[in-house]
């Protein structure tokens, strides 16, 4: 409601407003000869409308006189004006909706992204196999316009959706998630179940992991024959780690008949693909003449391949070969280089050997050896 803070009186039918403390007395007769509208006291305001001006409050300072309040009535809007306002409001709401973040619908991958393989050395003679686990890196799915990183739970949700529809890559990845307990409760049986689903469709990584699970009895009964079966399935498509593990199984007779020749054969297959564990084990076989003719030069060749990938045991043995001149020309500088690399990884025998080798080198030779060592370490850390 709109009010005015003025005194109000009516004289001869005309409304008068004044800020005086007291309104003038009304005369019984109009003796001025003027019209009543012209007789208002000085300072008063004459309104021809009954609507009180905005921002004012009608009150009285006279004792016992209540304030006069007048309600302002606005003219009703025409239908055309109402329609125009509604259209404007609708346009503003639409503009606000466009500016708000709209959720992007996610779709499951049809092919899982590559999984990084963090391997421990799976195969070394007279040591039980340390088979490899396949680990995921960054799971992602594609949205309509851009790639969005997923949480583990989201990744598990979408991969399960795709896996249930028969996508082999999603089945394999879901097996990894169950194996690691990422986004789902850790469950080896469920991991084996989804690996089997993917393996039956020819997924090489699933076949390899299923071989590991059968070999160790994880999520499935321990069964060397099933382990070798799935390793063979994986190696049919040339998976180096499966070839190396099958070589080990032939070497020790796990799930297959013991056969040094077959062991050397599969080690060579994996070694040619750059598997460091297979290269190291092939070096052992050439050094001892198991499954192949004894050949120190070939042994040094394969040890050097593995050492160049950072295998500390291969680095130590290669250093000893250079120190003794076995299979290579004797060279104390190179012996120091390779044994120093092994010692940096905590190889205790290499640490002891360095105390002997350092006495056989001049200061200049030692400086050159340390420079070469740094270059080799750089290549190991940053392979091309």
Residues 319 and 217 in one domain: no
pTM of the model: 0.52
Structural domain includes residue 83: no
User: Contact at 8 Å (CB) between 175 and 206?
Assistant: yes
pLDDT for 358: 92
CATH of the domain at 242: 1.25.40.10
Residue where one domain finishes, among candidates 273, 294, 315 = 294
Query: Residue 45 sits in which domain range?
Result: 1-77
**165 token code pair:** 């529809």
What is the structure's pLDDT at 10? 57
Tell me the two tokens of residue 136.
Answer: 């995921």
Q: Which of 279, 294, 309 is the last residue of a domain?
A: 294
Residue 59's pLDDT is what? 43
The Cα 328–Cα 317 span in angstroms is 12
Q: Residue 240 has what pLDDT?
A: 85
According to the model, what pLDDT value does residue 126 have?
36
Clarify whether residues 128 and 165 are in a common domain: yes
Going along the chain, which residue ranges are E strands? Answer: 7-11, 14-18, 45-46, 117-118, 133-134, 140-142, 147-149
Do 212 and 334 fall into the same domain?
A: no
Domain final residue, candidates 270, 294, 318: 294
Provide the pLDDT for residue 280: 96
* pLDDT profile of the chain (384 residues), mean per 10: 50 58 49 46 42 42 47 51 69 60 40 40 39 31 39 82 86 89 91 91 87 90 88 78 85 87 92 93 96 96 96 96 96 96 95 93 93 94 86
Which residues, in sequence order, are CB contacts of 258 under 8 Å at separation 6+? 250, 251, 252
Statement to judge: residues 194 and 282 lie in one domain: yes
Number of domains the chain is built from: 3
């Amino acid at each position: 409601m709109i009010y005015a803070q003025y005194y109000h009186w009516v004289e001869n039918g005309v409304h008068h407003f004044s800020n005086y403390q007291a309104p003038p007395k009304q005369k019984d007769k109009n003796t001025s000869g003027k019209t009543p509208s012209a007789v208002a006291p000085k300072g008063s305001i004459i309104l021809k409308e009954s609507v009180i001006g905005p921002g004012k409050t009608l009150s009285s300072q006279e004792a016992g006189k209540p304030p006069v309040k007048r309600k302002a009535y606005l003219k009703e809007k025409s239908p055309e004006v109402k329609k125009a306002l509604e259209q404007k409001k609708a346009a503003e709401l639409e503009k606000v909706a466009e500016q708000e973040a709209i959720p992007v619908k996610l779709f499951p991958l049809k092919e899982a992204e590559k999984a990084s393989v963090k391997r421990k050395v799976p195969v070394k003679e007279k040591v039980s196999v340390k088979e490899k686990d396949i680990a995921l890196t960054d799971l992602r799915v594609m949205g309509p316009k851009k790639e969005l990183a997923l949480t583990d739970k989201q990744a598990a949700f979408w991969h399960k959706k795709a896996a249930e529809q028969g996508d082999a890559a999603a089945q394999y990845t879901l097996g990894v998630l169950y194996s690691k307990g990422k986004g789902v409760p850790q469950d080896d049986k469920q991991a084996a179940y989804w690996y089997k689903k993917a393996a039956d469709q020819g997924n090489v990584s699933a076949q390899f992991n299923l071989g590991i699970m059968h070999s160790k009895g994880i999520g499935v009964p321990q069964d060397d024959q099933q382990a070798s079966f799935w390793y063979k399935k994986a190696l049919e498509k040339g998976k180096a780690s499966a070839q190396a593990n099958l070589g080990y199984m032939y070497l020790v007779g796990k799930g297959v008949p013991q056969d040094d020749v077959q062991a050397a054969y599969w080690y060579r297959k994996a070694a040619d693909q750059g598997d460091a564990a297979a290269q190291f084990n092939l070096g052992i076989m050439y050094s001892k003449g198991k499954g192949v003719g004894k050949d120190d030069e070939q042994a040094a060749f394969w040890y050097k391949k593995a050492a160049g990938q950072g295998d500390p045991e291969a680095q130590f043995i290669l250093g000893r070969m250079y120190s003794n001149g076995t299979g290579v020309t004797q060279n104390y500088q190179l012996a120091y280089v390779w044994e120093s690399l092994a010692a940096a990884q905590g190889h205790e025998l290499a640490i002891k050997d360095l105390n002997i080798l350092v006495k056989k080198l001049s200061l200049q030779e030692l400086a050159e050896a340390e420079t070469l060592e740094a270059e080799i370490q750089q290549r190991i850390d940053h392979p091309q």
